C-alpha cells in the first residue's frame, strides 16, 4: 500500500478576481515546485472562461502534505480565500489524522483505495 495521498479541490474564481487569481496561482506553482520536494503533482486546470478551477495535488506522504499546508497557511491562505471559493474537495488515499484535522474546515470527502495500481 502506498503512503501517497492526492486530492482534487474544485474552486470558483470570484468575479473580478481573475488577474489576482492568475498571479497568485503562478506564484504558488513556482514556490511549491522549488520548495516542496514531497509534492509530486501540483496541477491547476481552468475552464475556458476562467471562472472555475480544479487543483489536483499528489503528495509522497502525509508529512509532505503537512509541509505544504504550513507554507500555504503562512504565505497564501488569506489571498487564496480572497480570490477563490472552494466548492468541492475530494481526498484520495489514507492521510494521517493530523492531515484530516488540518483540512477539516474544508469539509472534504475521503475516498480510500479499493483496487488498482499506479506506475
Please tell me what DSSP assigns to residue 37.
Answer: T
What is residue 1's predicted lDDT score, i.e. its pLDDT? 57
What is residue 53's predicted lDDT score, i.e. its pLDDT? 98
Measured at the CA of 42, the angle between CA 41 and CA 46, to 5 degrees, comes to 130
Task: Look at residues 87, 95, 99, 88 and name the one whose alpha carbon lies nearest to residue 111.
Answer: 95
What is the average pLDDT score of the chain? 96
> Looking at the domain that runs over 5-111, which CATH code has it been given?
3.30.70.100
Q: What are the domain boundaries of the chain? A: 5-111
Query: How many other β-carbons are positioned within 10 Å of the β-carbon of residue 65?
Result: 28
CA distance 48 to 16: 16
Q: Show the low-confidence residues of the chain (pLDDT under 50).
A: none
What is residue 119's predicted lDDT score, i.e. its pLDDT? 80
Amino acid at each position: 500500500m502506498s503512503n501517497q495521498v492526492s486530492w482534487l479541490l474544485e474552486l470558483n474564481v470570484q468575479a473580478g478576481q481573475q488577474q489576482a487569481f492568475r498571479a497568485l496561482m503562478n506564484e504558488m506553482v513556482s514556490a511549491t515546485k522549488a520548495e516542496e520536494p514531497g509534492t509530486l503533482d501540483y496541477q491547476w486546470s481552468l475552464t475556458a472562461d476562467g471562472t472555475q478551477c480544479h487543483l489536483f495535488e499528489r503528495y509522497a506522504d502525509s508529512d509532505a502534505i503537512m509541509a505544504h499546508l504550513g507554507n500555504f497557511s503562512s504565505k497564501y491562505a488569506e489571498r487564496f480565500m480572497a480570490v477563490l471559493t472552494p466548492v468541492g474537495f475530494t481526498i484520495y488515499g489514507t492521510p494521517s489524522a493530523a492531515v484530516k484535522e488540518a483540512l477539516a474546515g474544508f469539509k472534504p470527502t475521503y475516498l480510500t483505495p479499493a483496487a488498482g495500481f499506479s506506475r
